Amino acid sequence: MQPPLGGPPQLQAPPARDPVTKLQILLGNLLKHFTDVVVHLSDVAPPRSVSGAVDVDGASEAAEGSSSGVRTAMTEEQLNEFILSCSKGVGNLVHVIEEEAEKLPDAIQSQEEVESELRYLERENEVAAAELKQLVASVRLVREAIREAYRDAATDGTRITID
């Protein structure tokens, strides 16, 4: 994997139909950039101890690994330039994300539109509740008619009564 030293990540908001989608894409780009940086740093950075000093044993292992072409360690200066470049890329992406967030409308609908929609939904709910009550009453009548028919059929010609 080549280091992304040459160019920062895409700095313009990607084309999208709505600002929320743009923000989703930009946040995805930021996550991808972070991932690329971490993966690349783990490949090229010289090993360090917990104190931050370069690990001499790890550095010799890195040198052995570089002869096989698997891992090439950067010099301290290259590493610092790479980290600076990556942090600038992250800063630029965050700046673009902030700009796009500022472009978002305060609300997708005005308060009046929301209230109007709620009133409409409340009326629809009342109509549906009335229809449901009628349906329940009809089902009860049908159920009672079926019970009566069953009683008559089950006791036809007998003196048995079923409650």
pLDDT tens string, the chain, 163 residues long: the values are 344 444 445 455 567 777 778 888 888 888 888 888 888 877 777 676 666 665 555 545 544 544 444 456 677 788 788 888 888 888 888 888 888 888 777 667 788 888 999 999 999 999 999 999 999 999 999 999 999 888 888 887 777 776 6
Domain range list for the chain: 19-103, 107-163
pTM of this structure: 0.44
Beta bridge partners of 12: none
**Measured between alpha carbons, how far is residue 22 from residues 17, 51, 65 in Å?**
8, 41, 42
State the DSSP string of 83-116.
Answer: HHHHHHHHHHHHHHHHHHHHHS-S-SS-HHHHHH
Q: What is the Cα–Cα distance from 8 to 25, expressed in whole angstroms?
A: 16
Beta bridge partners of 48: 54
